Amino acid sequence: MTSAPLLEIRDLHANIDGKEILKGLSLSINAGEVHAIMGPNGSGKSTLANVLMGSPRYDVTGGEILFKGTPLNDMAPDERARLGLFLAFQYPVAIPGVTMVNFLRQAVNARRGGDVPIREFRELLFSKMDLLKMDQEFARRYVNDGFSGGEKKRAEMLQMAMLQPSMAVLDETDSGLDIDALRTVAEGVNALMNPEMGLLLITHYQRLLNYIKPQFVHVLIDGRIARSGGPELALELEETGYDEIEAALATA
């Protein structure tokens, strides 16, 4: 008996300010799988991430999103997060005056639906920081306030570690990172990946996929999946770009 996909997107249409961005996107991800979505600027990559998480800025005008078999279309972002969906933002915002430790405790309490004892929370926090090779002093800093690009993305990885999602969506996590920061963040993602979890990497460049290895690569163009393949597809795109695929779509 074949189990249902962890995340299933069926013929998804979405717009913002009256402009249609997603135009019939379909995708299935099973537990334990790593999928990468690549595409040119304006193809709908970040829109997909935001729609999956339920951003109120976007209107879903057709199709369906199922997570663990549960329809998400009418769920608020916090409900989706409690169900086990996680989004790492391309541009994480700063929250001056709120320490990472307090922010994370509130997030974990919300995810679990009740207060986690302080001792249990601290043990979890320090174990995850050790796993991610992070100094404990990091937890005392204000959320993303004065953080470098790499520190912001590592803070996102720490959030993911603490919330222990079933499905993580990383929206251009490599954006603005130098090669050392990229390697550090990728090592964190790989350390957190497990057979019960699905991962969707949204990226513009192949370089992230040198460190986080996807089994499946999809090309998103003009709001639809235009082509799918294995990791070799990302290498091909690095050589040829998207022009050939866009030209084939235009003549189809």
Residues in a beta bridge with 200: 35, 169
Confidence of residue 2 (pLDDT cuts 50, 70, 90): low
What does 16-63 look like in DSSP terms, one character per residue?
ETTEEEEEEEEEEE-TT-EEEEE--TTSSHHHHHHHHHT-TTSEEEEE
Task: Judge whether 138 lies within some domain.
Answer: no
Phi, psi of 29 (to 5 degrees): -130, 130
Domain total in the chain: 1
Any domain includes 230: yes
| Residue 230: both structure tokens together | 């294995």
Percent of the chain that is helix, strand, coil (3-state, to 5): 40, 30, 30
Mean pLDDT (whole number) for 128-150 = 93
Residue 227 lies inside a defined structural domain of this protein? yes
pTM for this structure?
0.93
Q: Is 4 left (phi over 0), alpha (psi -120 to 50) or beta?
A: beta
- Domain, as residue range, for 84: 7-95+166-186+195-251
CATH number for the domain spanning 206: value is 3.40.50.300
In-domain check, residue 145? no
174 in helix, strand or coil? Answer: coil
Half-sphere exposure of 151 (CA within 13 A, CB side): 15
143-190 pLDDT, tens digit per residue, is 999 999 889 999 999 999 999 999 999 998 888 888 888 998 899 999
In percent, the amount of the chain with pLDDT more than 70 equals 99
Does some domain include residue 83? yes
Tokens 């369906």, residue? 64
Give 4's pLDDT tier (boundaries 50, 70, 90).
confident
Helix (H, G, I), strand (E, B) or coil at 188: helix
Asked whether the beta carbons of 81 and 179 are under 8 A apart, the reply is no
More confident residue, 138 or 248: 138
Are 29 and 7 in contact by the 8 Å Cβ rule? The answer is yes
- Residue 187 · residue 180 · CB < 8 Å: no
Q: Is residue 226 within 8 Å of 220, Cβ to Cβ?
A: yes
Asked if residue 212 is part of any domain, the answer here is yes
Say if CB 193 and CB 214 are below 8 A apart.
Answer: no
Give the pair of three-digit tokens for residue 87.
């989004």
Q: What is the pLDDT of residues 217-245, one digit of tens each?
A: 999 999 999 999 999 999 998 888 888 88
Burial class (CB in 10 A: 0-12, 13-18, 19+), 21: buried
Confidence category of residue 1, pLDDT binned at 50, 70, 90: very low
**Does some domain include residue 89?**
yes
User: In what helix (H) or strand (E) does residue 183 lie, and over which residues does it extend?
Assistant: helix 179-192
Instruction: Tell me if 146 is assigned to some domain.
Output: no
Burial class (CB within 10 angstroms; exposed 0-12, middle 13-18, buried 19+) of 114: exposed
Q: Are 169 and 54 in contact (CB under 8 A)?
A: no
